[in-house]
Amino acid sequence: MRAPLQYIPSGDSALIIKAGDDISIETNGIVRKLLIRIEQENIDGIIDFIPAYNELMVCYDPIIVGYRALLDIFASLTDDIETVELPESGIIHVPVLYGGRNGEDLPEVAFCHNLSEEEVIHIHSLPNYRVYMLGFTPGFCYLGGMDEKISTPRKQNPRMKIPAGAVGIAGNQTGIYPIVSPGGWQLIGRTPLRLFDPNRNPEFLFQAGDTIKFYPISKDEYGEIGNAIEEGRYETKRTNIP
Amino acid sequence: MPHIIIHTPGLLTTIQDQGRHGYQRFGMPVAGAMDLFSMALCNILVGNPHDAACMEATLIGPEIIFSSSGAIAICGADMGPCINGKPISLWTTMEVKKDDRLSFTGLKTGCRTYIAFAGGIDVPMVMNSRSTYLRAKISGFKGRALKLGDKIPLGSLHQKVSIKQVPSVLVPQYRAFQTIQILPGPEEKRFNLESIRTFLSSEYMISEQSDRMGYRLTGPKIELPEAGADIISAGVSPGTIQVPGNGQPIVLMADRQTTGGYTRIANVVSVHLSLLAQMKPGDRIRFKAITLDKAQELVSIRKQVLAKMF
């Protein structure tokens, strides 16, 4: 038996449905199920959702629907929440040009763990990573599943400008910068994929619940994929989860 | 096409509407006007929908030249607005003629002034909103604050705008010290009684490190819960008050990130967020807790007031 869902107000225009206190596929799965179930209902007054690791924030307009009314609606929607089917997105493959100018910290990460650069690349591109949630900047994915063998502390001096597509490591997390931003992550490579493009439909490449896998590419391939994206003829590589 | 030319841009002048809702699950901040009440009022005064895009000027107003006649309204901070050098009133509809020049003599009260143009500002919608989000350089006018020489297209006017005025009882009083109403936040129970007492009984000053993203406050240190300042990263709302490791609270404003990893001690109530948005670095606040029912009632009352006004 799972712990019961907890409902917590977050100001007068949002509430939280908490599914647990941990970071796990199971708890995060409940968050996804809540989002699917509630969104299906098209409840008047709900204007936005923020799914996170272990809770779902529901943003609403209190003029249209009050806190208590929402709790009543949610109570009837969530008693069999476990039965909601989660869509299977398959694996989204993310090409990465590791090292060199695009991954300046790869030697440092390798040195830190007494590994070769090739070993770091191998360890980083082996697992299937789970997109637990998005946040921080538009399109930034909080990924779970990195091998602790390459966990590396953040840089002492954060960089002022990190390019879009940079792939980095911070502690036991790995991630991709979707837009140019400052940051302290150890940069090990760069993907030509655009995680966020306001002029594309859909605007965002990933969503919570996706599974992604990195694969190393050469400088030439990086250029080719970049051109294909520019010309609108690139198709993101997807496979089924074996 | 009617348009305006930016003669001087002011300190930070951006195009904002009610914000970009529906994309927070992708980490896309809402942005939008900091003071939604003033924004709604100036739109109503020129016959626009409540949520049409306006200009938000910060501390120092812009200088604007009109290409054709029309109507404008200015609400929010009093920056001493003038047309062709003659002072004009806030909180009322003003007619403007071709080649008129709108300027501001200097800040008197508040922090942000809103300028609505009859017909609205005709910049493209990006993800259902015209709000500028500066950090990702998207929407508004070229994704940035306005600059000298910018030519901003306005929507066409289909009918004559009638002159309206906001009743004086509805005009907010901006002071350098305010009591800001709050609700207990998701992690409030993690703090001990002494911490909550410090938070609710102390004065906090709005620091220089305050912007559209958040207001960093300085004042008596709030002792952290035993579990520390960090939580598993999770959603935040407009007005969420976080307590990071240094015990100095941060109030999250329009350009806040969608998620955060600090304890959420409280939430500013919606109707007081507009008031807070008109406070500037150096101003002081004190918090007062109210109930959720009361906060939602205040939202309804405000809505009724706006609906009845005209």
pLDDT tens, position by position, A81-96? 999 999 987 899 999 9
Q: Which residue has the tokens 């966990």?
A: A151
Does residue B227 have a pLDDT over 90?
Answer: no
- Contacts with B84 (C-beta within 8 Å, 6 or more apart), sequence order: B100, B101
Contact B26 A207 (CB under 8 A): yes
Distance CA A59, CA A10 (A): 9
Looking at residue B60, its amino acid is: I
Domain CATH code at residue B301:
2.40.100.10
List of residues 6+ apart from B227 with CB closer than 8 A: B190
Is the model's pLDDT at B246 over the cut of 80?
yes
CA of A62 vs chain B CAs: smallest distance (Å) = 6
In chain B, what percentage of residues exceed pLDDT 70? 100
Domain end call among B120, B142, B170: B170
Token pair belonging to B117: 């143009």
Q: Choosing among A7, A10, A176, which should be mutated to test the B contact, i.e. which has the most B CBs within 10 A?
A: A10
pLDDT of residue A1: 57
Query: What's the pLDDT score for residue B230?
Result: 87
Residue-level pLDDT at B198: 97
Q: Could you report the per-residue pLDDT of B121-152, keeping only the tens digit for each?
A: 999 999 999 999 999 999 999 999 999 999 99
Do both B13 and B125 map to the same domain?
A: yes
Residues B73, B141, single domain; the answer is yes
Q: Cβ contacts (< 8 Å) between A54 and chain B: which residues?
A: 232, 234
Cα–Cα–Cα angle for B215, B216, B222, rounded to 5 degrees: 130
Which residues form the domain of B219?
Answer: 177-309
The residues, any chain, with a CB within 8 Å of residue B160's CB and separated by 6 or more, are none
- If you count them, how many residues does chain A have? 242
Residue A137 in tokens: 């900047």
A14 — contact with chain B (CB < 8 Å)?
yes
Positive or negative, the CA dihedral B274, B280, B282, B283 is: negative
Q: In this structure, which amino acid lies at residue B151?
A: K
Within 87-116 of A, beta carbons closer than 8 Å to B belong to: none
Q: Do A137 and B257 touch (CB under 8 A)?
A: yes
pLDDT confidence bin for B310, thresholds 50/70/90: low
* pLDDT, position A136: 87
Q: Do B235 and A55 touch (CB under 8 A)?
A: yes
> Are the CB atoms for B113 and B79 separated by under 8 Å?
yes
Domain count, chain B: 2
Same domain flag for B150 and B206 = no
Regarding whether B204 and B269 lie in a shared domain, the answer is yes
DSSP lists the bridge partners of residue A196 as A204
At residue B250, φ and ψ (nearest 5 deg) are -125, 130
Long-range contact list for A27-30, CB < 8 A, 24+ apart?
Answer: A27/A53, A27/A54, A28/A53, A28/A54, A28/A130, A28/A132, A28/A133, A28/A208, A28/A209, A29/A86, A30/A2, A30/A5, A30/A81, A30/A82
CA distance B267 to B230: 17
How many Cα atoms occupy the beta-carbon half-sphere of B200 within 13 Å? 19
Pair B181, B229 in one domain: yes
- Comparing CA positions, the residue from B105, B104, B109, B127 lying closest to residue B55 is B104
Placement of tokens 């647990």 in the chain: A20
> What's the number of CA atoms in the CB half-sphere (13 Å) around residue A25?
8
pLDDT tens digits, one per residue of B12-27 = 999 999 999 999 999 9
Q: Is-contact A24 A41, C-beta < 8 A?
A: no
Quick check: A24 contacting B, CB < 8 Å? no
Test A196 with B26 for CB contact under 8 angstroms: yes
B234 and B117 co-located in one domain: no
Q: Please tell me the distance from the alpha carbon of residue B249 to that of residue B239, in angstroms, as a whole number.
A: 12
Nearest to B27 among A54, A55, A134 (CB): A134
Structure tokens of A149?
């063998």
> What is the CA A143 to chain-centroid distance, rounded?
5
Look at the alpha carbons of B83, B86, B92, B93 in this order and tell me if their dihedral is positive or negative. Answer: negative
A15 touches chain B (CB under 8 A): no
**Domains detected in chain A:** 6-83 (3.30.1360.40), 91-239 (2.40.100.10)
Q: How far apart are CA B151 and CA B50, in angstroms?
A: 24
- Which three-class secondary structure state does DSSP give residue B145? coil
- Average of per-residue pLDDT across B260-278: 96
Sign of CA dihedral B114, B120, B122, B127: positive
Do B106 and B214 lie in a common domain? no
Q: Do B125 and B185 fall into the same domain?
A: no
Alpha helix (H) ranges present in chain B? 36-45, 193-201, 270-277, 292-309
CB B72 within 8 A of CB B45: no
Model pLDDT, residue B307: 84
Helix locations, B230-288, DSSP H: 270-277
Q: Do A196 and B183 touch (CB under 8 A)?
A: no
Helical ranges in B46-190 per DSSP H: none
In this prediction, residues B44-64 reach a mean pLDDT of: 96
Domain boundary among B150, B170, B190: B170
Same domain, B193 and B50: no
How many Å separate Cα A54 from the centre of its chain? 14
pLDDT at B203: 98
- The amino acid that residue A8 corresponds to is I
- Among B170, B194, B213, which residue terminates a domain? B170
DSSP line for A63-103: TTS-HHHHHHHHHHHHTTGGGPPPP---EEEEEEEESGGG-
- Residues in chain A predicted with pLDDT less than 70, given as ranges, are 1
**A107 prior amide bond cis, ω within 30:** no
Do B89 and B40 lie in a common domain?
yes
Q: Say yes or no to pLDDT of B273 above 90.
A: yes
Q: CB pairs below 8 Å between A and B: how many?
A: 146
Contacts of B279 (CB under 8 A, 6+ apart): B111, B174, B176, B178, B206, B215, B285
Instruction: Identify the bridge partners of residue B241 per DSSP, sorted by sequence position.
Output: B251, B266
Q: Are residues B56 and B94 in the same domain?
A: yes
Q: Are residues B201 and B69 in the same domain?
A: no
Q: Which two tokens stand for residue A153?
A: 């502390």
**With contacts defined as CB-CB under 8 Å, which chain B residues touch A136?**
27, 257, 259
Alpha helices in chain A (DSSP H): 25-40, 67-78, 106-112, 117-125, 219-230
Chain B environment of A14 (Cβ under 8 Å)? 235, 237
